[in-house]
Amino acid sequence: MRRSPDSEGRIGTGPARRRGSPMRIEVDRNRCEGHAMCEAVAPEFFSVDDEGELTVKAEEVPEPDKAAVHAAVLSCPVTALKLSSR
């Protein structure tokens, strides 16, 4: 049986179809150096104290916030952040 692509040209029910699935923030604490770029980009999700200790305020990222958190992940100079879907 052949399926028709949806309005965005996708076929099937695999991971690419699960647009609404929540993403999670993962931190590699061994890499984090407290630069606070993540906090500057997405302060709703990241906070860095005076000692450079990072706190992730919310590990689960709602769909409307994905772009901001993705930008924060990319801003980290030591690639300590990752967005994963699990």
Q: Which residues bind ligand SF4 (CB under 6 A)?
A: 32-38, 46, 48, 54, 76, 78, 80-81
CB of 7: closest distance to ligand SF4 in angstroms? 36
> Which sign does the torsion angle of CA 57, 62, 64, 66 carry?
positive
Identity of the residue, 32 or 61, whose beta carbon is nearer to ligand SF4 in the bound complex? 32
Identity of the residue, 11 or 71, whose beta carbon is nearer to ligand SF4 in the bound complex? 71
Identity of the residue, 61 or 81, whose beta carbon is nearer to ligand SF4 in the bound complex? 81
CB of 82: closest distance to ligand SF4 in angstroms? 10
How far apart are alpha carbons 62 and 69 in whole angstroms?
A: 10
Whole-Å CA distances, 31 to 9, 22, 70: 39, 24, 18
Please provide the DSSP assignment of 28-58 as one string.
-TTT-----HHHHH-TTTEEE-TT--EEES-
CB of 16: closest distance to ligand SF4 in angstroms? 28
